[in-house]
Structure 1
Amino acid sequence: MTAPSLARVPCTIVTGFLGSGKTTLIRHMLENAGGRRLAVIVNEFGDVGIDGEILKGCGVEACAEEDIVELANGCLCCTVADDFVPALDKILARAPDHILIETSGLALPKPLVQAFQWPAVKSRVTVDGVVAVVDGPALAEGRVASDHDALDAQRAADASLDHEDPVEEVFDDQIACADLVVISKGDLIDGAAAEAAGARIAAHLPRAVKVITVTQGKVDPAALLGLGLAVEDEIDARRTHHDDEEDHDHDDFDSFVVPLPEIADPADLAGRVARAAEAVDVLRVKGFAAVAGKPMRLLVQGVGPRVSHHFDRPWGAGEARRGALVVIGLKGFDRTAVEQAILG
């Protein structure tokens, strides 16, 4: 017999494609916790824990650095038995009021939610809700990612491709499991574009789900937390592309790290990253850089050719001023060309 639901810690799973705005949304929740003690499990794709570093830089009392656990060893939905349960044990030892789980951009939420059905897990935690974050500007243009041109060209050139590409399938599965869909980057789309993005989502939604549009991740946490849905009890009924597969992988994607020497001009670096993304099948770039003469660390994030940067926190007294960018793209993309374009 499991413990009553009130004794279990609620977990919100935040899913979404690469660069959709998940980390920005979670950071806003941490900064506006409303008295809740929050903890976060971050699942990265790549060797450098960029999203975890961004969240740890919040410096808010509601979520100390010890309340953030990073899992950078593969997709959480694929390694749930090996990685998720130990991470959950570590988090629960901190006695949080609510747990946020940020999946990698390639993760399928359903296998993760199903892990909450395990007796050892279900007795302690419950899935409060699944939030899918989607890229508003990309959807308005008919794409689920900013740099979808390469995928469209590949499909058009191969007459044998009569099925949806892997990126679309990941998007479909995330939407199929969502209890709330958040359209991000609302400041970058006008009314007509927002309507187009909403229509694209509606075409993928298998049931009635609320859809909201946000800017800079700014949404009242009360709209995201405390839904009390116990999603693990009904997740098996949410049909996805991978329901009939025993396992899945993400062999259509690859990532590597570009070490960055100290730079002189953030705008110049952003321009080089944007040109690299346009020239090669790059979906996402994120990382940090050290700027000569500046005591602050520069955060760099790119989604296709859209690149943003800002100083997020001071470098620590004993911290090496080393920069690094994680580059995520389609399997087989030209790493050398990307590295040369970024480093100049």
Structure 2
Amino acid sequence: MSSALIPATILTGFLGSGKTTLLKRVLGEAHGSRIAVIENEFGEENIDNEILVQERQEQIVQMSNGCICCTIRDDLRATLSDLAQRRRSGELMFDRVIIETTGVADPGPVAQTFFMDDDVASQYLLDSIVTLVDAVHAPQQLDQRLEAQRQVGFADRIFISKSDLVDAAALAELQQRLRRMNPRAPQTLVHFGEVPLKEVLDLRGFNLNARLEIDPEFLREEEHAHDHHDHDHDHDHACTEDHEHGPGCAHHHHHDDDVKSFVFRASQPFEPAKLEEFLGTIVQIYGPRMLRYKGVLNMRGIDRKVVFQGVHQLMGSDLASAWGPQETRESRIVFIGIDLPRDIIEQGLRQSLAA
């Protein structure tokens, strides 16, 4: 077995958002990378057979450009192990895996497979979760389906399709809504799946590195909302009382999403033992509702940045680069989850700071 892990990308998005269009484009591009596509489907939308060369009615199909495709209706873990074994034996040749989930799938269990199962973890590296959002239908889907919200919350990158079919105001409101749900995923407008490959592959979304990108617009919005925060636990409504914003702000309560995010920042260093104990407790209690969380931490007694991130109850941390001489030593943590108790988490984090 080669020591290099096989990178895997999870492609998710609600029905009709354009996942298959994007995938066909990725597979059709002459990028020299052989891709194994796993379709985790329930018969809604398959990759069209014209781009496949189907020799026999088999689960695994060889494509005309050297990529392979397989449809799973059972266990993802078994399929990943089977593909890796066939690759080791030389029966199949591929460089990476893309898993296309069903339109109604929660990406959480798919992502967890790469960490929970030793066999899979020893052979694959989860690179990122890419989510497609349909600008026309997303507002209604996000209002009605928690799965659609979860897909946004888990994303490392969000592609918005069909943006040309909605007016500028509706698009701006959707983008602001997505930003409140997930400020760490860059948003890109796409037309008919035309996306540069570098924006889909090798994003290193699950890599423990020191970069924590939070949309600066979100931080400005956050600070503003907190100025008017009156401890009614209804943060997204904070600006409905502030009439200088005009009526546009009152829209928020029509879609007070279950999936929300917030950022914690502190210039005081954390006390390592206290923080570890607190995060361990929080993850035990709220882990199932914590979709993605990531932070760059300033720890007392450690001259390097500490980076940590997690998915549900699974959390990892690592030492990153040293703080630069001109750099402000500030801890920043973003939490994305379902009805997380922001006040409790922020209070516990403050109590974990060094005296």
Q: Secondary structure at the match of 1:227?
A: coil
Partner of 1:219: 195
Distance, in Å, in 2 between the alignment partners of 1:242 and 1:26 is 33
Distance, in Å, in 1 between the alignment partners of 2:85 and 2:12 is 21
The within-5 A match list for 1:1-344 is 7-46=4-43, 50-51=46-47, 53=49, 56=52, 61-64=64-67, 67-71=68-72, 73=73, 79-81=75-77, 85-86=81-82, 89=85, 94-117=92-115, 118-139=117-138, 142-144=139-141, 165=144, 167=145, 169-205=146-182, 207-230=183-206, 234-235=310-311, 236=314, 240-241=337-338
Q: Secondary structure at the match of 1:144?
A: helix
Shift of 1:17: 0.8
Shift of 1:128: 1.0
Q: Which amino acid in the other structure matches residue 310 of structure 2?
A: E
Q: Secondary structure at the match of 1:15?
A: strand
Shift of 1:172: 1.7
Deviations 1:198-222 (A, max 9, x none): 12312322x4210001010111111
* CA separation of 1:204 and 1:49: change in aligned 2, threshold 3 A: closer
Deviations 1:295-315 (A, max 9, x none): xxxxxxxxxxxxxxxxxxxxx
Distance, in Å, in 2 between the alignment partners of 1:204 and 1:106 is 18
Distance, in Å, in 2 between the alignment partners of 1:189 and 1:234 is 35
Structure of greater relative contact order (alpha carbons < 8 Å, 6+ residues apart): 1
The answer on whether the counterparts of 2:63 and 2:69 sit within 8 Å (CA) in structure 1 is no
The answer on whether the counterparts of 1:11 and 1:126 sit within 8 Å (CA) in structure 2 is yes
* CA separation of 1:202 and 1:223: change in aligned 2, threshold 3 A: same
* CA separation of 1:109 and 1:124: change in aligned 2, threshold 3 A: same
Q: Which amino acid in the other structure matches residue 71 of structure 2?
A: E
Task: Report the identity percentage.
Answer: 28
- The structure that has the greater radius of gyration is 2
Q: Secondary structure at the match of 1:143?
A: helix
The answer on whether the counterparts of 2:51 and 2:63 sit within 8 Å (CA) in structure 1 is no
The answer on whether the counterparts of 1:41 and 1:87 sit within 8 Å (CA) in structure 2 is no
The answer on whether the counterparts of 2:14 and 2:103 sit within 8 Å (CA) in structure 1 is yes
* CA separation of 1:88 and 1:103: change in aligned 2, threshold 3 A: farther
The answer on whether the counterparts of 1:42 and 1:52 sit within 8 Å (CA) in structure 2 is no
Q: Which amino acid in the other structure matches residue 18 of structure 1?
A: L
* CA separation of 1:91 and 1:16: change in aligned 2, threshold 3 A: farther
Distance, in Å, in 1 between the alignment partners of 2:28 and 2:157 is 21
Distance, in Å, in 2 between the alignment partners of 1:91 and 1:108 is 28
Distance, in Å, in 1 between the alignment partners of 2:120 and 2:150 is 23
* CA separation of 1:52 and 1:70: change in aligned 2, threshold 3 A: farther
Shift of 1:109: 0.9
Q: Which amino acid in the other structure matches residue 104 of structure 2?
A: L
The answer on whether the counterparts of 1:12 and 1:101 sit within 8 Å (CA) in structure 2 is yes
* CA separation of 1:199 and 1:101: change in aligned 2, threshold 3 A: same
Shift of 1:18: 1.1
Distance, in Å, in 1 between the alignment partners of 2:36 and 2:78 is 20
Aligned length: 209
Shift of 1:226: 1.3
* CA separation of 1:85 and 1:241: change in aligned 2, threshold 3 A: farther
Deviations 1:174-202 (A, max 9, x none): 11111000101233234333212212312
Distance, in Å, in 2 between the alignment partners of 1:209 and 1:18 is 20
Partner of 2:303: none
TM score, norm. by length of structure 1: 0.53
Distance, in Å, in 2 between the alignment partners of 1:120 and 1:45 is 26
Q: Which amino acid in the other structure matches residue 12 of structure 1?
A: T
TM score, norm. by length of structure 2: 0.51
Q: Which amino acid in the other structure matches residue 69 of structure 2?
A: I
The answer on whether the counterparts of 2:20 and 2:46 sit within 8 Å (CA) in structure 1 is no
- In structure 1, stretches of 5+ residues that fail to align are 146-163, 244-344
Deviations 1:145-171 (A, max 9, x none): 7xxxxxxxxxxxxxxxxxx75x2x101
Distance, in Å, in 2 between the alignment partners of 1:82 and 1:8 is 17
Across the aligned residues of Structure 1 and Structure 2, the Cα RMSD in angstroms comes to 3.3
